[in-house]
Amino acid sequence: MELLRDIARNRLALAGLVILAPMFLCAVAAPLLSPHNPVEPDLKNVLAGPSFSHPFGTDTLGRDVFSRVIYGSRISLLVGFVSVGIATLIGLVLGALSGYYGGIIDEAIMRFVDLMMCFPTFFLILAVIAFLEPSIWNIMVVIGLTSWMGISRLVRAEFLSIKSKEFVLAAKSQGLASRKIIFGHVLPNALAPVYVVATLGVGGAILTESALSFLGIGVQPPTASWGNILAQAKDNIEIAWWLSLYPGLAIFLTVMGYNLLGEGLSDILDPRRRYGTR
């Protein structure tokens, strides 16, 4: 409850929530809000402009763009949360082991992190996806498996700072197992910056999924995705502007909402930023 009150007082975080709330509503209530079947073609209304019956117009197969954008929010939010969840889990475990044990374990994990960070993430994802069947599940897993490095470095830094504190030393003196100390005492106190990075990561994952779908190796038609709606738009940009505007605006607002929320959480959870000190 205290966190919710802090978010309500923080203008960045509150603005992010205001932007994201309609996106969540669309994702949850898509069958109720969608006026048409998002995958059913209507060849009598191909590339029809915005109207009362089709507020965002129709695409090259006569499908309602408004309905497809609403259902696309489900895909984007699912990809964002699942892929970031995978990346966060991997980053937490490896960062915790590296920061707590140090020595050769720390050296091995950090060198692996450095190796992974040498590869441009998007091109690494492209290379992996090229060998797999394009599907939403493969996309989520691949994004998660290539996005955990920053979280692991952040968690490692937090563990290095926290493991020498009195309550951790007291737990060690009582003979508690390392597993209980790591996950019961140190990790809960290292999560604040992880919340911020994970929130920002959701926006990045949505951008990545949209880019992959735009290139034709992401979510495959007829499933609606903001990226594959934009892929249709590039061939009809001069005669069907609505195919670019509305999914592009949805991506922009969603990513901006997560960035604002992440920046707001950073202000709330970082005492130095919260009270204007460094």
Q: How far apart are CA 105 and CA 209, in angstroms?
A: 33
Whether residue 195 is contained in a domain is answered as yes
Within-domain flag for 31: no
Domain count, the chain: 1
Q: Is 253 helix (H, G, I), strand (E, B) or coil?
A: helix
- Residue labelled with tokens 């999560």: 191
* pLDDT in single tens digits along all 278 residues of the chain: 676 787 778 888 899 999 999 999 999 999 999 989 999 898 888 888 899 999 999 998 899 999 999 999 998 889 999 999 999 999 999 999 999 888 899 999 999 999 888 888 788 888 777 777 777 888 888 899 988 999 999 999 999 888 888 888 888 888 788 888 888 888 888 888 898 899 999 999 999 888 888 888 888 888 888 988 898 888 888 888 999 999 999 999 999 999 999 888 888 876 555 544 44
Residue 111 in any domain: the answer is yes
Q: Give dist(CA 143, CA 138) in Å, integer.
A: 8
**Is 132 within a domain?**
yes
Q: Which residue has the tokens 């007291």?
A: 170
Is the previous residue joined to 271 through a cis bond, with omega within 30 degrees of 0? no
Q: Is residue 73 part of a domain?
A: yes
User: For the chain, first and last CA: distance in Å?
Assistant: 27
Residue 84 lies in a domain: yes
Q: What is the CATH number of the domain that holds 186?
A: 1.10.3720.10
pTM listed for this prediction: 0.87
Q: Is there a domain that residue 39 lies in?
A: no
**Structural domain contains residue 38:** no
Range of the domain at 229: 2-26+67-274
